[in-house]
Structure 1
Amino acid sequence: MKVTAHELSALPDPVAANDALSPYKEALREHFPSREALLQEAKRQSKRQRVLKKVGSGMALSLALAVSWLLDPVWHSEDLRTLVGQQANYTLKDGTHVALNTDSVLVVEQHLYSRRLHLKQGEALFTVEHGWRPLTVYANQTQVRDIGTIFNVRNTAQGAVVTVVEGSVEVRTAHAQRILTRDISVTTQAGMISESRCSAANIAWQQGRLLFDGTPLADVVAELQRYHRGQIKIADATVAQYRLSGEYDINGIDALLDTLPEIMPLRVERLADATVVIRHQ
């Protein structure tokens, strides 16, 4: 079929048609990215997801560790007790040695990340087996943290008496903090800490002895009462001020009481219920 020049001129120009569509193509490209752009964006998204996953895993692990440290659960607990006049030695699961004095109660808690010993009453000497878990003794609003030592703790009505035999400890109360070294003893009361040189009387019980150095009889009787089942009473205020010195056997409390009238102007009466009354002669 032969096309005339007139008919040929009537056909649309391909180049002109493409030029006419160019603005639309550019607009479409703005709304629909190219294959290369899509591939690059997909790579960026995949990288971001890997980073976020790694960060999320790290945060989850950190959070789990933080919660674990915060909770620090108990995995083993035991109660150690002695009767009036009784002394006992124990070796804890971590190897720490505890010598428990008369009429004492010690609650031992082995936590996941720490060791906590609660001296509810009485007195104890601690020879600590060191490890990565810190050891702290609690006694009547007083905290004693072991640093590397052998130390003695006595729970008193007012607070605690802490005596360092070897090494050092950190003593904390609500209002004070103190590092103690060898041969230093402190007394805590009302959140405060008062320091003094170590007295041999504080740790003489470990050798089964009681030491008194010009001690008022009222304080002597209070100490003897810790080891004596029956009540010991002072009937006269004057007698309470008498002073006693000497070294005595912990297991000979009754013998000591019977000896008092020989060294002081007083008399000792024993009642049927095992009560001992000390009166002026």
Structure 2
Amino acid sequence: MTRFPGNHDDPGTAQIDSEAAGWFARNRNSPDRATRKAFEAWMAHPAHARAYAEFEELWVDLAQLQQLSKPIALPQRRSPVWRPALAVAAAVLCTVLAVNLGTSRTPYVQQVAAQEQGARAFKLPDGSTLYVNANTQVQIDFSAQQRDIYLQHGQLYLEVAADKERPLWVHSGAAKVRVVGTAFDVRRGQRQLVVSVAHGQVAFSPDGRPAELALLGARQQAIYDLQKGTLRQQSLDQDDVADWRSGRLAFRNRDLASLVDELNLYRRQPVQLAEGPLGAYKVSGNLDVNDPDALIKALPALIPVKTVAQANGQLKIEAR
């Protein structure tokens, strides 16, 4: 990273450096929505964004010094000139947070199997918060070197505590999602694997290969078709990410195939969808996660479909 020479003792620059350190500390502690919006507004100023990026890099340097509890040489970088205020702020923050490093890196393993209804929340030992949707199976496996979460089926939302030395990975089949500190949602159904980002950035590889990598930022979503092997991206409203936690989903011009895939999280027996162009029908409306059948009954009034009872007791949505 290029350092920007100049008057490093300028009071305005020192103030920005101090603010950057403060925002970095807040962002490590799962900030709420109001704090995230304030941070985004602060980062809109180029000088603020530059100071924050420099602070992140300096934090990595200090973390490397702490890794082995003994002095090691810092990596050589171009023009390594740190502003005094930035260096002091990082050193102070490093001292404040050091007491928590041992606890957050303690090995931790847990299996989560959610019931048919109701979301559950878990505070993880690294400071992250995990929300698990209905009919979801998750395994959490944290070691001193890495943080791994395995989503077998269902949906989760993570507010990830930042730890640049130990990124967090979400695995779902061959797919991988890599994050440092952000908030995002992952849903795995029968048809789709969907990754939605509330804030921050994630790297999503639907087949686990680095060559097939999608970088998603705030209010972006990637939808991977598990049967066709295709990936598409789209933009979202802020409130659309993990709205299932409120118990009600609002959707507009949603593909029927995607809607049914999500709706099936809330039913004992999944609804079947007839093959063909039916899955591309667009639907708008609301879904009460505690009463998914209400939407199924309303579908024929919204689009030209019908529900047909099968011999095995399941329902199938067909063209009318």
Verify: 1:196 aligned to 2:234, yes or no.
yes
Q: Which has the higher strand share?
A: 1
| Residue of structure 2 aligned with 1:110, choices 142, 150, 154 | 142
- Residue aligning to 1:75: 107
Verify: 1:212 aligned to 2:251, yes or no.
yes
- Residue aligning to 1:275: 314
User: 1: CA distance between counterparts of 2:138 and 2:174?
Assistant: 15
State the secondary structure of the residue aligned to 2:242: helix
Larger displacement relative to structure 2 (112-121 or 243-252): 243-252
Structure 2: gaps of 5 or more residues: 1-104
- Within a 5 Å distance, the mapping from 1:56-205 to structure 2 comes to 75-131=107-163, 132-156=165-189, 160-172=193-205, 173-174=208-209, 175-188=211-224, 194-198=232-236, 201=240, 203-205=242-244
Greater Rg, structure 1 or structure 2? Answer: 1
TM-superposed CA distance for 1:110, in Å, is 1.4
Q: Specify whether residues 97 and 249 from structure 1 end up closer, same or farther in structure 2 by C-alpha distance, changes over 3 A only.
A: same
| Residue of structure 1 aligned with 2:261, choices 222, 242, 247 | 222
- Say whether the 8 Å CA contact 2:162–2:182 is kept in structure 1: no
**Counterpart AA for 2:295:** L
TM-superposed CA distance for 1:121, in Å, is 1.6
Q: Specify whether residues 274 and 201 from structure 1 end up closer, same or farther in structure 2 by C-alpha distance, changes over 3 A only.
A: farther
- Say whether the 8 Å CA contact 2:141–2:148 is kept in structure 1: yes
Structure 1: gaps of 5 or more residues: 1-72
User: 1: CA distance between counterparts of 2:305 and 2:318?
Assistant: 6
**Counterpart AA for 1:256:** L
Q: Specify whether residues 213 and 143 from structure 1 end up closer, same or farther in structure 2 by C-alpha distance, changes over 3 A only.
A: same
TM-superposed CA distance for 1:149, in Å, is 0.8
Percent identity, aligned pairs only, is: 25
User: 1: CA distance between counterparts of 2:236 and 2:297?
Assistant: 30
Q: Specify whether residues 251 and 114 from structure 1 end up closer, same or farther in structure 2 by C-alpha distance, changes over 3 A only.
A: same
Q: Specify whether residues 241 and 136 from structure 1 end up closer, same or farther in structure 2 by C-alpha distance, changes over 3 A only.
A: closer
**Counterpart AA for 1:89:** A
| Residue of structure 1 aligned with 2:292, choices 253, 258, 274 | 253
Q: Specify whether residues 179 and 274 from structure 1 end up closer, same or farther in structure 2 by C-alpha distance, changes over 3 A only.
A: same
**Counterpart AA for 2:285:** G
Q: Specify whether residues 273 and 202 from structure 1 end up closer, same or farther in structure 2 by C-alpha distance, changes over 3 A only.
A: farther
TM-superposed CA distance for 1:126, in Å, is 0.4
User: 1: CA distance between counterparts of 2:116 and 2:172?
Assistant: 19
TM-superposed CA distance for 1:272, in Å, is 9.3
Q: CA RMSD in A?
A: 3.5
User: 2: CA distance between counterparts of 1:205 and 1:147?
Assistant: 24
Q: Specify whether residues 157 and 233 from structure 1 end up closer, same or farther in structure 2 by C-alpha distance, changes over 3 A only.
A: closer
User: 1: CA distance between counterparts of 2:251 and 2:263?
Assistant: 11
**Counterpart AA for 1:125:** Y
- Say whether the 8 Å CA contact 2:197–2:241 is kept in structure 1: no
User: 1: CA distance between counterparts of 2:276 and 2:215?
Assistant: 39
- Say whether the 8 Å CA contact 1:142–1:188 is kept in structure 2: no
User: 1: CA distance between counterparts of 2:222 and 2:278?
Assistant: 29
TM-superposed CA distance for 1:222, in Å, is 3.0
RCO (CA 8 Å, sep 6+): is it higher in 1 or 2? Answer: 2
